[in-house]
Structure 1
Amino acid sequence: MSQGTKTKDVPEPIGKEYRPILWLVAMGFFMQQLDSTIINTALPNIAKSLNENPLNMQSVIVAYVLAMAVTIPISGWVTDRYGIKRTYFFAIILFSLASIGCALSQSLTTLVISRVFQGIGGALLQPVGRLTVLKVMPRPQLLAALSFVSIPGLIGPLIGPSLGGLIVEWMSWHWIFLINVPIGMVGAFFTLKVLPNMKQSHLASFDYIGFIFVATSMVSLSLVLESMVDQTRSQASMILLIVIGLSAGASYWLHALRHHSPLFHPSIFKVHTFSIGILGNLFARLGNGAIPFMMPLMLQVALGFNPTIAGLMMIPLAIGSMLIKRFITRLIYRFGYRKVLVTNTLCVGLGIASFALITPNTPMWWQLIHFFIFGIFNSIQFTAMNTVTIKDLKQEDASSGNGLLSVVQQLSMSMGVAIGGAVLNNFIHLDGKQNMLQSFHYTFLCLGALTICASWIFWQLKKSR
């Protein structure tokens, strides 16, 4: 009996019959994560090719991330309705076709439209892939399977900025998108070959009205931030967007209180840690979300680095983020969520503000150490915030809470990029282009202060560990 118990406690290795499925899901994770970061170092070159100001290119990132945020709530229902195989195949084909559209774009408008469709495909790739693993894998092999498919998701951000820099310097920016096509063709073939078409036979109706309210609110408020960059936009249009966004958000709340199965049930906000975690995620990520856009831009536009060097300088940040992962759980157990998040949010905010100290005279080795240390605090922040948000949810609320967390993560990233671009352009408008580096410095100070303010939200957590 004791021997049998021991056997059950040992995680089972991944069966050979499941490996093709896991490789396919891992490839989807890699495509989505790579495309989220590879474009950052290429934006100045893309702007030059399209005759645009590189400081006004944040819409390329915002369009992708916002499309993901809007699509994520519907991804689970679509998968259950149409099946894993069909949905995943559609996601890969859409992502690949949108990548071709991005590469063929002759204007910023067409590029942004293509990025929207790319974001929709990306929003389906990751949640559907994770859902595939949960449905297909036997429970004893689940942990090993999830660990396996998550590795490419870590590699994508690690190589994305440097690969983007190399491509635009030695080839052309079009290949940043075209490299997705052969990967997508292989993925589409194996999707039809190895994925089961599992779907729900009895499926509850989707909350379309709630989805429309949520999507309208997110898009409207994001467009308000986006329009702040454009000095020619009328105040009347901005006020109208604010009214639409807030009205749609309030309408959803009233709708959710009456609906039997809303998109996100208001009752989950009665969980103290969830409410704090969602608010903390939203506001703490506003400053953080701008960094992948702002840093490569400053290195190239204000400091004169070429795209390759600017991309390579982002690697220490990703390495620091990966190396600290194994120690974060011990840190939280030792000091508790409240102390860790309050202290670390202050450190992240100060870290963002400290980028204002970077000048042409700053030694390269010190900048690399600077990025590495920031990556460590960044990783602690994301892991602790995500965990505290969902840890106390009941089983029946886990799916809704996790879905809302994913939406908030993507939404705050798009809003962060929009805020960073708006603040930077306003400082440039005040100080003039001759003080470009100074404008970047002021922007980092503002983003750091915004992040520091989020520490007050985490102060509301209970002191228990």
Structure 2
Amino acid sequence: MGHASSRQGSYRIIALIVASAFFMEQLDSTIISTALPAMAQSLGTAPVRMNFAMTAYLLSLAAFIPISGKIADRFGTRNTFRGAIMLFVVSSVLCGLAQNLPWLIGARLLQGASGAMMVPVGRLVLLRTVEKSQLVSAMSWVLFPAMIGPAVGPLIGGFLTTYLSWHWIFFINVPIGLAGIALATTYIPDIRSDAPPSSFDYAGFVLAAATLACLIVGLEGLGHGGLSPAALLLLAAAAACALAYAWHSRRHADPVLDFSLMRIPTFRVAMRGGFLYRVAYGSFPFLMPLMLQLGFGLSAAESGAITFAGAVGGLVMKAISVRFLRAFGYRKVMIWNGLLSAMLLGLCGAFRPEWPLAAIYLLLLLGGLARSLQFNAYGTIVYADVPPPRMSAATSLASTNQQMTAALGIGLAALVLDTSMHALGHAAVQLTDFTVGFAAMGLLGVLAVTQCRELPANAGAELSGHVRKNGKPARG
């Protein structure tokens, strides 16, 4: 009995350590959004050019995630995890000390690369040490920061910038990171792959990184500059690199992103549905604060306080998501909760200044509850049927898919807003444009549900513990 209790406490400690690293990585994806004007003035550049500081971080994250599993297999999870946190702390300090925009962009690229190593490796530790029956509970701790980080980022960034200085939005990572290194040294096991080392897929890494870079930058270019030749050229280059990678990966024995994993039904559904769903909700940290500030006339601090209601809903759901999955099973939860969360996302576009504040808070709270449950479902079912020897490859592919959706969600939302403005003849963005933007993202969430319908009734039963009413395991 004592051994079981000790084991349970150990996996929760590991989950919390990984969650702290995930929180830092996700927080820094949005924390600078409310500080951009102050940063631009301090660095002597135009505010519009500060977008490169956000893009550089997201781009570096997406590009380096594919090699994280390979590095962990070669150098061990503990060494890789600690090294990534240390590099994240150093790059955060460099960001805070930046004297000009190129310096900041370079430090953000380094910060993104270290974040790319930090989170997937931490998730890999859980996948290799936690029993499947405990995985949903453990992953709920890890996946929660993925939602709360972007939500509280603008709130924390606005507070620190207003009452201290923008430099502190980076310096706050130092004590968190140092504590993470100390805890990782004590609790993170040093796991290495039993498989013999294979030659690294350099060509695949270059092609995959080029695909992500061209896609993200090109989509962002469309959102800010319309159908510019440069943006279209980048998107064409992304398509060409993707086709080249598809050809290359079928001929390489150990590709950097192993798409043969898509033959596993639960992995395929989670990847496709999760991609659409996360792109839809990846737009939320961009659309909601912007609508509240430009459409409602609220300050950055006020808009951050309102959007935080969604994070509160996520915190509540974190504690009870396991019960929903056990009671109803993955398939029913992901279909019906997916529809509910998509509807609540689209409904955000109906918010107006004359609405009672309590009604807005309530809808954002409900949206946070549904979003957290859906994120947890996608984040765990993806590994349900992956064989242990392929966990590293699955983690790299799933993490790349998850991370790039944040940048794509922002880019797609900006594109929809820009298209709506031109179609409706608006010189500046209006509330009706945000209505169109949220409606489009809500429809994207509905499309994600169509993928979940492919799941059998017993999908993920070993993870959730879901059984039929007669006490037998659920079957398709």
Mapped partners of 1:333, 1:25: distance in 2: 24
1:337-373 Cα shifts (integer Å, max 9, x gaps): 3332222222222212111121221222222112101
Mapped partners of 2:330, 2:131: distance in 1: 29
- Partner in structure 1 of residue 197 of structure 2: 203
- Partner in structure 2 of residue 74 of structure 1: 67
- Partner in structure 1 of residue 260 of structure 2: 267
Matched, 1:457 2:461: no
- Partner in structure 1 of residue 383 of structure 2: 390
Matched, 1:217 2:211: yes
TM-score normalised per structure 1: 0.82
Decide whether the 8 Å contact of 1:102 with 1:177 is kept in 2.
Answer: yes
Decide whether the 8 Å contact of 2:258 with 2:397 is kept in 1.
Answer: no
Change (3 A) 1:146 1:203: farther
Greater Cα shift, 177-186 or 411-420 = 177-186
Matched, 1:360 2:353: yes
- Partner in structure 1 of residue 221 of structure 2: 227
Mapped partners of 2:405, 2:80: distance in 1: 26
- Partner in structure 2 of residue 166 of structure 1: 159
1:52-75 Cα shifts (integer Å, max 9, x gaps): 456x86554343223212212212
Give the CA deviation at 1:382.
Answer: 0.9
1:281-334 Cα shifts (integer Å, max 9, x gaps): 111111100111221222223322222222222322112112123433333344
Greater Cα shift, 290-299 or 185-194 = 185-194
Decide whether the 8 Å contact of 1:133 with 1:145 is kept in 2.
Answer: no
Residue 289 of structure 1 is aligned with which of 282, 285, 300?
282
Q: Please, which runs of 5 or more residues in structure 2 have no aligned partner?
A: 459-473
Mapped partners of 1:109, 1:302: distance in 2: 32
Mapped partners of 1:244, 1:151: distance in 2: 33
Change (3 A) 1:364 1:389: same
> Identity of paired residues, percent?
32
The one-letter amino acid paired with 2:448 is A
Residue 122 of structure 1 is aligned with which of 101, 109, 115?
115
Decide whether the 8 Å contact of 1:264 with 1:400 is kept in 2.
Answer: yes
Residue 310 of structure 1 is aligned with which of 290, 298, 303?
303
Mapped partners of 1:48, 1:225: distance in 2: 27
Decide whether the 8 Å contact of 1:42 with 1:307 is kept in 2.
Answer: no
- Partner in structure 2 of residue 402 of structure 1: 395
Give the CA deviation at 1:261.
Answer: 2.1
Secondary structure, counterpart of 1:390 in structure 2: coil
- Partner in structure 2 of residue 374 of structure 1: 367
Matched, 1:445 2:442: no
Matched, 1:28 2:11: no
Give the CA deviation at 1:210.
Answer: 2.0
Mapped partners of 2:4, 2:17: distance in 1: 28
Decide whether the 8 Å contact of 1:324 with 1:380 is kept in 2.
Answer: yes
Greater Cα shift, 81-90 or 115-124 = 81-90
The one-letter amino acid paired with 1:205 is S
Secondary structure, counterpart of 1:313 in structure 2: helix
Mapped partners of 1:139, 1:287: distance in 2: 31
Mapped partners of 1:243, 1:348: distance in 2: 33
Decide whether the 8 Å contact of 2:66 with 2:397 is kept in 1.
Answer: yes
Decide whether the 8 Å contact of 1:68 with 1:120 is kept in 2.
Answer: yes
Greater Cα shift, 248-257 or 364-373 = 248-257
Show the 5 A alignment for 1:37-52: 37-43=30-36, 45-46=38-39, 52=46
Mapped partners of 2:342, 2:131: distance in 1: 40
Change (3 A) 1:334 1:22: closer
Secondary structure, counterpart of 1:304 in structure 2: coil
Change (3 A) 1:200 1:390: closer
Q: Please, which runs of 5 or more residues in structure 1 have no aligned partner?
A: 1-5
Decide whether the 8 Å contact of 1:75 with 1:123 is kept in 2.
Answer: yes
Decide whether the 8 Å contact of 2:77 with 2:192 is kept in 1.
Answer: yes
The one-letter amino acid paired with 1:281 is G
Decide whether the 8 Å contact of 2:226 with 2:418 is kept in 1.
Answer: no
1:2-49 Cα shifts (integer Å, max 9, x gaps): xxxx5655444758xx98x99876653443243234334444654676
Secondary structure, counterpart of 1:377 in structure 2: helix
Residue 417 of structure 1 is aligned with which of 403, 410, 415?
410
Aligned residues: 453
1:234-255 Cα shifts (integer Å, max 9, x gaps): 42x3343233322322222232
The one-letter amino acid paired with 2:443 is A
Mapped partners of 1:276, 1:48: distance in 2: 46
Mapped partners of 2:9, 2:323: distance in 1: 27
Greater Cα shift, 31-40 or 376-385 = 31-40
1:386-443 Cα shifts (integer Å, max 9, x gaps): 2332212233333322321111000111111111122223334554345533322222
Mapped partners of 2:189, 2:457: distance in 1: 47
The one-letter amino acid paired with 1:215 is A
Matched, 1:103 2:103: no
1:60-116 Cα shifts (integer Å, max 9, x gaps): 434322321221221232234345565445423432343244334566665444322
Mapped partners of 1:150, 1:213: distance in 2: 30
CA-based RMSD: 3.8
Mapped partners of 1:198, 1:28: distance in 2: 18
Decide whether the 8 Å contact of 2:69 with 2:395 is kept in 1.
Answer: no
Mapped partners of 1:184, 1:341: distance in 2: 34
Show the 5 A alignment for 1:121-160: 121-131=114-124, 150=142, 153=145, 159-160=152-153
